[in-house]
Amino acid sequence: MDVNILLTDQNSFKWSVNQNIYVLGFLFDSENRILRDDDFLTYCENIKDLDTFKNKILEQRGNFAVIIKTKNDVFMAVDSIRTFPLFYLEKDNSFFVSDSSDYLQKTHCLSFDKTAEHEFLATGYVTKDHTLLTGLFQLQAGEFIQYSLSKGLLRKEYYTDYLTHEINLEEDYGVYKKKLATVLENALDRMLNFVDGKPILVPLSGGYDSRLIVCMLKKRGVENVICYTYGATNSHEVIISKKVAESLNYKWLFIEYNENTIPHDYLTDPDFQSYYKYASNHSSVFLLQDYFAVKQLKEKELVPNNCIILPGHSADFLAGSHLSLTDIKNDNRENTIRRIFDKHYNLNKPVQFSQENNDYLKQISCKFEYAVDENWNLKERQAKFIVNSVRIYEFFGFEHYLIFWDREIQEYFKTLPVEYKHRTKLYLKLIFEDYFNPLSVEYLKEKSEIKDLLKKMLPNKIKEKLRKKLASDFNKFDLMKKPLKIQGDEVDTNINSYIAKWYLQQITL
């Protein structure tokens, strides 16, 4: 069996290669030392079997993709959130691995999977290990693969998940809060170890997660920090972001979105043409709203080329923002499956939930139904949509670090009693009491009781129509959507629905 490992030139994080070892990203070893580049390769040198692979790679923290070819096997893994995607296919008695689906499509002329296309239109990504191309598969978040060279057999297994099996029961609420504070500070230690004194760039919104990052940095005395925000000048995101940055005495950059920053012909821009292919990989919609801001920051040299970008993904999810009382009280797997479908298959006219996904969810062994919902959310929407948005930073040459996806933080929230996750109760109490109030940045993000009611009570199509009437277009989505609009399609309001349709049109031409 031939093995072909076909890797592309990355713009920020670079593949390091030594004979049959390929590593991208970084690990923290058991002593919390950061391993990247040559150190990462050296760490992998003695991996010859599955047990060693698990012990040395899968039990460590970090953001990585790893490929190791031994005498008998090929081992591959991505981290718990699929920070760096990997793709593979078996064809003509050969096994192919690549970080680019586009590369494999060009060399093998793969056909399109109609079932996957319908799912992509409904969600903005393709679930499980499938892609939009028949025969091409992706490694899933927290998954490793062992491919036997002699037998041509493929073994796939999740080495980590977000299923709650045990609850960390403490007698006192203060214990949970103190533990969360410690976990956050430990994650900050690792992040600063990675940053290693380089300039820090924070996409600062009007919400709480990115604000927590800058507050944590300020409390630690880190001063080489730049914040940026984009959108309309009257956006609540812009107004609050500026207040926070000024209160912390951090430099603040604003990229105004208008006809100049979002030109009507942006689709023909060579940068954009390269970006959307790089970011989508026949499996996910590309992030569009940040594209114009990051492009401005890079082209106008507004920030140092070596700065590390620290986005706030996805503390709110981990803290429980997605959990309703209905989710928490649910004790029926059929209801769980129905709610997963209703939550995530709503960009366009929903397709029928596939039998494969239905069977997969039914066989999961977990007594907490809300955790089955959370695990699906992490491995699908979070990994393939939210985390995949970091492709925009890589494309323009910036490294990134997702502090809230630190494995220690994941494990903490996974065992936290659900009553402290509902409405992000514990998380909000801690960040306001320990960070926002002491630093005088306790501004509330925009909150509307009407919008909250819409989210809970109305069908998605009606919500979208009413939301458009109630809210101003602070991010100038209308400017982005107009070039993407498919002729004759006047129904959709969600920007990602436009992107999904437009992308499918491009790749199936």
The pLDDT value recorded for residue 47 is 94
What are 303's two structure tokens? 């920030």
Please tell me the predicted confidence (pLDDT) of residue 448: 44
* Contact indicator for 238, 203 with CB cutoff of 8 Å: no
449 confidence band (pLDDT: 50, 70, 90): very low
Per-residue pLDDT band at 110 (split at 50, 70, 90): very high
Model confidence at 1, pLDDT cuts 50, 70, 90, reads confident
Q: Grade residue 247 by pLDDT with cuts at 50, 70 and 90.
A: very high
Closest residue by Cα to residue 160 from 384, 378, 390: 378
Confidence of residue 7 (pLDDT cuts 50, 70, 90): very high
**pLDDT tens, residue by residue, 359-400:** 999 999 999 999 999 999 999 999 999 999 999 999 999 999
The pLDDT tens digits of the residues spanning 259-310 come to 999 999 999 999 999 999 999 999 999 999 999 999 999 999 999 999 999 9
**Which pLDDT tens digit goes with each residue over 398-424?**
999 999 999 999 999 999 999 999 999
> Domains along the chain?
2-158 (3.60.20.10), 173-320+374-449 (3.40.50.620)
pLDDT at 29: 83
Mean pLDDT, range 38-46, rounded to an integer: 95
SS3 186: helix
Which tokens is 236 given? 């609540």
pLDDT at 324 over 90: yes
Q: pTM of the full predicted structure? A: 0.93
By DSSP bridging, strand 61-69 and strand 73-78 are antiparallel
What whole-number distance in Å separates Cα of residue 161 and Cα of residue 425? 23
Instruction: Give the pLDDT score at 343.
Output: 93
